[in-house]
Structure 1
Amino acid sequence: MVGGCDASLLISSNSFSQAERDTDINLSLPGDAYDVVTRAKTALELQCPGIVSCADILAVATRDLITMVGGPFYKIRLGRKDSFESYAKDVEGHIARPNMTMDTIINMFASKNLNVQEMVALMGAHTIGFSHCSEFSKRLFKFSQTSEFDPTMNPTYVQALQTLCGNNTKDMAAFNDVMTPGKFDNMYFINLQKGLGLLASDQAMIYDQRTKPFVELYAKDQDAFFKAFAHAMEKVSVYKVKLGKMGEVRRRCDVVNQLQVNPNKKIGS
């Protein structure tokens, strides 16, 4: 969510510019996700060319995927336009990294008009998905002078992750939610209470007094989590949307329309 809900993430890099999707933090996004949007766009272009934006497709596909794996349904307003540009250099500071302090993460979400409760609910999206060893291995080996691993972690969990990530030649991946990885539920928050948070930024929420009450609330009340998550996602889905001449309806989601005419043109120029 760099420039808003505008499908800039879907644009491919070219010989002139590296796009958002190829920055390091986005490389773990599954290729299947891009394929789903591409297939939906192709089908829509055959039936109603130039009408449905990639941003709208992405917003609806995200909501439907969450619902399919057990998460809440929420309303999606349509009519977004797609961005004209996408730059990898713009990503930093817009996506929470595992080593960020809680102050930094809270401030980052606040800059997008999301409060602490909404931030914690959105972090709960880690109930599905995975992370690579490079994103959490510093918690497992030579953590400090007094501890081999992060003492906030469950020791049995640490042993399993050390076995997974011990081979440094391969950047293996682990599920963000070790208990119910294929289900959208509140187990992510229950895990944090047991030291089973995979990323340092996740586990830190149970120790920060600003976020802890919401972790505890969502751990014991899945309905409260779902309600807060749905509300937050509705806000995210309309953040800095592009309308009118601020954007376009791309004919292909991975290429801005100008580049389809002139492939030698830089992204966003």
Structure 2
Amino acid sequence: MLSLTHSLFTTIFLVLVILLHPSNAQLSSTFYSSTCPNVSSIVRNVIQQALQSDSRIVASLTRLHFHDCFVNGCDGSLLLDQGGNITLSEKNANPNNNSARGFDVVDNIKTSLENSCPGVVSCADILALAAEASVSLAGGPSWNVLLGRRDGLIANQSGANTAIPAPTESLANISAKFAAVGLNTTDLVALSGAHTFGRGQCRFFNQRLFNFSNTGSPDPTLNTTYLATLQQSCPQNGSGTTLNNLDPSSPDTFDNNYFKNLLINQGLLQSDQELFSTNGSATIAIVNNFANNQTAFFEAFAQSMINMGNISPLTGSQGEIRTDCKKVNGS
């Protein structure tokens, strides 16, 4: 009787574990090993080709995965164009409009995969694979990407406007947005470290340069020499779309210089600098650790990318495998 009760308890416990962690149970690094064994090298080759003429592309592709996962989970919804049943595209939401880029490279990856293994690899998985290849190609860590996501049938523009962390938000607000999708403080700091490559437009930080929080003065946490450089690049009535390196020291390399910059008040975005300059925040010790230990940053970043990739994926018979990442099948 005791053993029967024990085995029943064990069975119930296992069922609960599977129900509570469906994504971990269903996503797998070997998902395409028989149906599209060369998927990773195909993705990497297309990105390598794009990188020859566009040094920014690796940062842009990494950002697409982030902006996809924070809205409706990692379902490729960001990639859908307006049209058909998609009345409001996430591409036109404030965090993405005229700043999200790399969609043409995603389309090129999809075309290559359709030629090699038609109807097999989802657009959501392409974003996850492209992020890992991009980070690796820029000198950052590699990790085993968990795969098996399917593509969503809807876009959520209002969700994109509210769920994606904004560069002008407080650390408390951004922490809440990470917590809402199951990511913790270490994930927040590690994933912010993706700003070690890529560019930011003046409009995303110029509120820090002249009239911070309506004080009539610049953000006091900005290094004064760095401030002068940014004021030249982004004058008060200048273009809001002028590009600036997120990491002035090594803008196209994935390294831990982003965190070293924060220690000397050279974070470009308000949301960057607040990780180190918010008194009493748990993020300060993590920034210090990553600034002093690139290996610790790389390990944490790889794990946090896996964690982010696990946000509410569609699996099994949910969603579909889009043949064109820009539109739902049959539309």
Could you tell me which of 243, 248, 268 is aligned with 1:173?
243
1:100 counterpart SS class:
coil
Structure with more relative contact order (C-alpha pairs < 8 Å, separation 6 or more):
1
2:266 matched to 1:196?
yes
Q: How big is the alpha-carbon RMSD for the aligned residues of Structure 1 and Structure 2? A: 1.7
What's the CA shift for 1:167? 6.0
Task: String of CA shifts for 1:7-61, please: whole Å, max 9, x gaps.
Answer: 1111112376221112121135453x21221111112212322111111111101
Q: Which amino acid aligns with 1:215?
A: V
Q: Which runs of 5+ in 2 are unaligned?
A: 1-68
Query: Contact 1:28/1:131 (CA < 8 Å) preserved in 2?
Result: no
| Residue 267 of structure 1: aligned partner | none
Q: 1:247 to 1:158 in 2, by over 3 A?
A: same
Query: Contact 1:17/1:87 (CA < 8 Å) preserved in 2?
Result: no
Q: 1:53 to 1:157 in 2, by over 3 A?
A: same
1:131 counterpart SS class:
strand
What's the CA shift for 1:254? 0.5
2:323 counterpart SS class:
coil
CA distance in structure 2 between the aligned counterparts of 1:107 and 1:135, rounded to whole angstroms: 20
Per the normalisation by structure 2, the TM-score is: 0.74
Could you tell me which of 276, 281, 292 is aligned with 1:220?
292
Query: Contact 1:136/1:200 (CA < 8 Å) preserved in 2?
Result: yes
Q: Which runs of 5+ in 1 are unaligned?
A: 260-269
Structure number with greater Rg is 2
Q: Which amino acid aligns with 2:165?
A: A
2:196 matched to 1:104?
no
More helix by share: 2
Query: Contact 2:91/2:100 (CA < 8 Å) preserved in 1?
Result: no
| Residue 114 of structure 1: aligned partner | 183
CA distance in structure 1 between the aligned counterparts of 2:145 and 2:215, rounded to whole angstroms: 50
Percent of counterpart pairs with the same letter? 39
What's the CA shift for 1:146? 6.0
Query: Contact 1:72/1:226 (CA < 8 Å) preserved in 2?
Result: yes
Q: 1:92 to 1:134 in 2, by over 3 A?
A: same
| Residue 193 of structure 2: aligned partner | 124
CA distance in structure 2 between the aligned counterparts of 1:45 and 1:85, rounded to whole angstroms: 22
What's the CA shift for 1:250? 0.4
CA distance in structure 2 between the aligned counterparts of 1:97 and 1:146, rounded to whole angstroms: 21
CA distance in structure 2 between the aligned counterparts of 1:78 and 1:64, rounded to whole angstroms: 14
CA distance in structure 1 between the aligned counterparts of 2:214 and 2:133, rounded to whole angstroms: 46
1:174 counterpart SS class:
strand
2:145 matched to 1:73?
no
**Runs of 4 or more off by more than 4 Å in structure 1?**
144-147
Q: Which amino acid aligns with 2:170?
A: T
Q: Which amino acid aligns with 2:275?
A: M
CA distance in structure 1 between the aligned counterparts of 2:170 and 2:100, rounded to whole angstroms: 27
Q: Which amino acid aligns with 2:136?
A: T
